[in-house]
Chain A
C-alpha cells in the first residue's frame, strides 16, 4: 500500500520482481493455470482434440458425481487408507525417532537403513512388496506355509480387507522414516536442561516423556501429520502398482479413479469434477489441521 518514495528502493523492488518472475511463471503454467482449467473443465463439456469446443453445462458432472457409487467408494477407500496409515505411521515414527535419539554404535548405518524406504520411488517400493505378497512365489506365503502358520497360500492382494491392509503396510513401511526424521529433529531441539531439571524434580522416564517430550514435539508432529495426510489423500502409484484398485474396486483411491476416468474412459470433464472434489477434500483437511493447531495455541 505504501508508495515507495525512494528510487533506490524502487530499483531494488524491480530487480527482486525480476528474480521472482521465472518461478511465478513456471508455477502458474504447471500448477495454478491447470487447476483453474480443471475447474473450468468440470463445469463444461468438450473434447480433447478441440473438435467439440467447451460449453457450459453447469453442475451436470457434479450431479453425476453425487450419484456415482464408484466415486463414493473411492472416497471411502481414500479416507480409510489415510485413517489407518497415518496413526500407525505416527506411532512407528515416534518410536523410531526415540530409538534414533539414543546413543549406540552403528547409528549412522541404522539411520541410513530407515531412510532408504523413503528415498526410493513409491512405484518401485510397491513392486517389491507386490513380489513379497505374491500368492504363489512370494516370500510371505513361503514363510507362512513352511512354518505352518498357514495351510494354504494366503491371497494377500485378492481379498478386499487383506488388500487394504497390505496397502497400509507398504505405506507405513515407506513413510514412518520420514515421520521419524521430522520428529527426531524436534527431539534434538529440546534443551537437555529440561530433562536435567525433570530429574531433579524426581520424574520417571515415562513422566519425562509425557510432561516434557510429547508437549514440546507437538509442533513437529503436526507438521508431519499435515504433510503426510496430504500425501495419503492423493495416493496414486501405490494402488496403481499393487492392486490396480482391486479386488474390483476395494483399493481404488480417488486419484486412481480419476486417472482411470480421464485416461482409460477418456472422460476429461467428469474426471476434472472428481479431481476438483478431491482437491476440496484435501483443502478441508488442511483447514481442519490448521484450525486445531490454532485452537491449541
Chain B
C-alpha cells in the first residue's frame, strides 16, 4: 500500500513562490497526471516528491513516513526524465543496474532483475550497447527499465515522452498504459500535453501559476472545468469564450453582437455580465438554417482530415466550430448554428470561476 500524501506543500526561492499550498492524497496504484503550461509548478512539485528539490512548507508522506528530509535514494521512488538522463559512457546493462549496485544487491540478483526487466521491455539484445547506439524510443525504454528494476513504491515521470516524435509518442503512451496496468505501482506523471493526460490519468491535477486549479478525472475536467483557465487549457482547439451582457428584457446578448439567448441554465446571481464558453465540437452547424438558428458566415475553413474547423462570424461575434470533414461548409457560405444549452459553460468574468449549473427538472 503506497499512498502519497502532499499536505499543503509549498516551494519558494527567496521571494518567488513556485508552488503554493499543494494539498492532495494520491491513492495506492493511482496514475496521477500533473498538467499545466510551462512554469506552472508541476515539475517543481514532482521534484519535491523525488527529493531533488527541498520542500519549503508542508509535509510529504510516502506510505506512512514523512519524507521531507529524506535523501532521494531512500524515498523508494524512481524517476524517468525527459531527456532520458542515461549515463552516456555506460552500457544499457550498467545504466539499469546502477541503483542496485549502489544498494549492494548481490551480482546474481542484479543479473536476474535487469535481465527480467530487459526482457519485459524488449531490450535484451541491447544490454551491451551504449545509449548513443540506441534510437530515441529505445533510450526511453532503458530509462523506464532503470526505474522498474528498482521496484520502487512510486514512479515519477517528468515529461517522459516530449522528446519523441509524434508517432513514437503514441506508441510509448500505450506501452506506459500497459505497464501501469501490469505493475499497478502508484505513479505521478508530469506533462504539458493534454492528450497524454487525458489518456493516461486516473486523475488529472491542472496547475496554473503554482496553484492547483482543479483535480478530477479526465471526464470531470473536460465536462466540468472549475474555471476559465482549465476550460481553455483542456480541449483542442480551445473552447470559445464569448462575453454576454443582460439587456433590458432580461435576455443575454453577446457584447460584440449577433448572439442572443433568452435564458441561461446557470446561477447567474444577479450578474449583468458573464462569459460563456462553448467547445468548438459542441457548436451545431447546419448547411440550411433551421427555425431558431443563428445565421453565421464562414470566414475560413480548414480541413484536418476526419474533421474540419470553421471560423464563423455571427454579427460581430467570432466562433470556432468543429464539424465532420465530408462536405463541410466552405469559406463564404452562410450556415445556421445552434448552441445546445446543456453544453454551455458560464464563468464569472472577474474571477474566472465557473458558475453553478441550475438543476432543471429535465
| Whether chain A touches chain B in the assembled complex (some CB pair under 8 Å) | yes
Interface residue ranges, A against B (CB under 8 Å): 2, 4-9
Chain B: minimal CB distance from A4 (Å): 8
Decide: A2 near B14, CB < 8 A? Known: A8-B51, A8-B54, A9-B54.
yes
- Is B71 within 8 A of A8, CB to CB? yes
0/1 interface trace, chain B 56-67, chain A, CB 8 Å (1 if under) = 100000000000
How many interface residues does B have (CB within 8 Å)? 9
| Identity of the chain B residue whose Cβ is nearest the Cβ of A2 in the assembled complex | B14
Mostly, the A contact residues are: loop
Residues of chain A lying within 8 A (CB to CB) of residue B55? 6
CB pair A6–B14 under 8 Å, yes or no, is no
| From B14, B56, B69, contact of A7 by CB (8 A) | B69
Q: Is B187 an interface residue (CB 8 A)?
A: no
| Alpha-carbon distance A6/B57, docked complex (angstroms) | 10
B191 at the interface (CB under 8 A from A): no
For A5, the chain B residues whose CB sits under 8 A away are: 54, 56
- 8 smallest CB-CB distances across A and B, nearest first, come from A6-B54, A9-B54, A8-B54, A7-B69, A8-B69, A2-B14, A6-B69, A6-B55
Residues of B within 8 A of A4 (CB): 54
The answer to whether the Cβ of B68 comes within 8 Å of any Cβ in the partner chain is yes
| Min C-beta distance of A6 to chain B, whole Å | 3
Contact residues of B between 68 and 102, Cβ < 8 Å to A: 68-71
Distance between Cα atoms of A2 and B71 in the complex (Å)? 22
CA–CA, A155 and B71, complex, Å:
74
12 example contacts (A-B, Cβ-Cβ < 8 A) are as follows A2-B14, A4-B54, A5-B54, A5-B56, A6-B55, A6-B56, A6-B68, A8-B54, A8-B68, A8-B70, A8-B71, A9-B54
Q: Count A-B pairs with CB separation below 8 Å.
A: 17
Cα A8 to Cα B56 with chains together (Å) = 11
Name B72's closest neighbour in chain A (CB-CB): A8
- Give Cα distance in the complex from A85 to B68, angstroms: 61
Q: What residue of chain B has the Cβ atom nearest to residue A1's Cβ? A: B14
Chain A residues, Cβ within 8 Å of B14: 2
A6 to B68, CA, bound (A): 8
Pick from B54, B55, B56, B70 the residue with the most CB of A within 10 Å.
B54
Report the Cα distance A8→B68, complex, angstroms.
Answer: 8
B57 to chain A, nearest CB (A): 9
* Chain B residue at minimal CB-CB distance from A9: B54
For A7, what are the chain B residues with a Cβ–Cβ distance below 8 Å? 69
Taking CB atoms and an 8 Å cut-off, the chain B residues in 82-139 that contact chain A are none
- Which chain A residue shows the least CB distance to B54? A6
Task: Tell me the bound Cα distance from A63 to B56 in angstroms.
Answer: 58
Interfacial chain A residues near B56, Cβ < 8 Å: 5-6
Q: CA A118 – CA B229 in complex, angstroms? A: 60
Assembled-state Cα–Cα distance A8/B14 (Å) = 17
Q: Can you add 14 more A-B contacts, CB < 8 Å, to A6-B56, A7-B69, A8-B70?
A: A2-B14, A4-B54, A5-B54, A5-B56, A6-B54, A6-B55, A6-B68, A6-B69, A8-B51, A8-B54, A8-B68, A8-B69, A8-B71, A9-B54
Interface residues of B in 287-336 (CB under 8 A from A): none
A9 to B56, CA, bound (A): 10
Give Cα A6–Cα B10 distance, bound, in whole angstroms: 13
Closest partner residue, chain A, to B51 (CB atom): A8
Q: Tell me how far the C-beta of B114 lies from the nearest C-beta in chain A, rounded to whole angstroms.
A: 29
Complex CA distance for A2 and B54, rounded to whole angstroms: 14
Min C-beta distance of A15 to chain B, whole Å: 12
C-alpha spacing A5/B71, complex, angstroms: 15
- Closest Cβ of chain A to B46, distance in Å, is 16
- Report A-chain residues with C-beta under 8 Å of the C-beta of B68: 6, 8
- Scan B39-57; emit 1 where CB is below 8 A from any A CB, else 0: 0000000000001001110
Q: How far is the CB of B62 from chain A (nearest CB, A)?
A: 15
Bound-complex Cα distance A65 to B290 (A): 102
Measured CB to CB, the nearest residue on chain A to B68 is A6
Most buried by A among B51, B68, B69, B71: B69
Whose C-beta in chain A lies nearest to the C-beta of B57?
A5
Closest chain A residue to B52, Cβ basis: A8
B19, chain A: closest CB distance, angstroms: 14
> How far apart are the CA atoms of A102 and B210 in the complex, in Å?
51
**B117 → chain A, closest Cβ, in Å?**
29
Q: How far is the CA of A9 from the CA of B54 in the complex (A)?
A: 7
A2 cross-chain contacts in B, Cβ below 8 A: 14
Give the residue name and chain of the B residue nearest to A12 (CB). Answer: B54
Residue of B nearest to A5 (CB): B56
- A4 to B69 alpha-carbon distance, docked (Å): 12
Kindly report which residue of chain A lies nearest to residue B15, judged by CB atoms.
A2
When distances are taken between beta carbons in the complex, the residues of chain B under 8 Å from A9 are 54
A260 to B258, CA, bound (A): 93
* Nearest B-chain residue to A11, judged by Cβ: B71
CB of B182, distance to nearest CB on chain A (Å): 33
